[in-house]
Each structure stands twice: as C-alpha cells, then as structure tokens.
Amino acid sequence: MSRKPKPDPGSLAYLKLLNLVDSIKRSQPALDPLEERLLNRMAMAWHKGEKVTVTQAMEGGDGVAPATVHRRLKQLRAKGLVALVADANDTRVRFIEPTDEALHYFNALDDCLRRLDRA
C-alpha cells in the first residue's frame, strides 16, 4: 500500500504571513470582506496623497450598490477606523480620512511584511 504525499499548503513565508496577519486582525475590530476591501482601497488612495470623498467611495465601481458602501463606511466609522471631515470650502462634501486606529492597523501589517522580508 503506497502512501499519498501530504499536500503542500504553500511556502513557509506565506504561512508566516497568514499567522502574522491573523494575529493583527484579532487585535482590531472585526471587518467583513467589503469593509476590508473599502479600507484597503482608501489606503491605496491615501498613500498616493489623494483625498477620498464619500461620493467617490460610493461610486467605486466594485459592483456594490452605493447604499451598501455607505452602510459599510458608517460601520468603519463606528469601529473607529475612518473619520468624515467636511471640506473647508463646501461643507456638503465629506472626506474620508484614516484615524489613528487605522494607521496603527496599516503600520502593523507593514511591520509583518518587513519581518517576512528579513526572514
């Protein structure tokens, strides 16, 4: 009787990344997949120095209804990860900005990648 080889779940670096990210996520407010996707999309814009309005986020083109995006933005705000700031010239326009909690989350993820790079 021959033994089946064990399936290879991936590289050791990938498994380390999964464990590190999981530990970071456990220390943060739980995000559903859409909240995480919105936060990541805004993080990319913020990294480029772009300002993101609520309207822009709702029109993101991800195939998600604007009302659904708006609800998820409210949830991200309630979880302390984003803040809405009125435009100085037009108070009807609200910009989505990262909070200190969001910046801490992004820095922790960045730290994970740096640890893996050194490994």
Q: Tens of pLDDT along 68-94?
A: 999 999 999 999 999 999 999 999 999
Cβ atoms within 10 Å, residue 8: 6
Q: What is the model's pLDDT at position 8?
A: 65
pTM of the model: 0.78
- Reported as a single tens digit per residue, the pLDDT across 5-38 is 665 666 677 787 788 778 777 877 888 999 999 9
Q: Which among 27, 8, 20, 6 is positioned nearest to 119, based on CA atoms?
A: 20
Q: What is the model's pLDDT at position 6?
A: 66
Evaluate whether 3 touches 41 at the Cβ level (below 8 Å). Answer: no
Q: What is the model's pLDDT at position 2?
A: 63
Given pLDDT bands bounded at 50, 70 and 90, which one contains residue 48?
very high
* Domains in the chain with CATH codes: 12-25+32-118 (1.10.10.10)
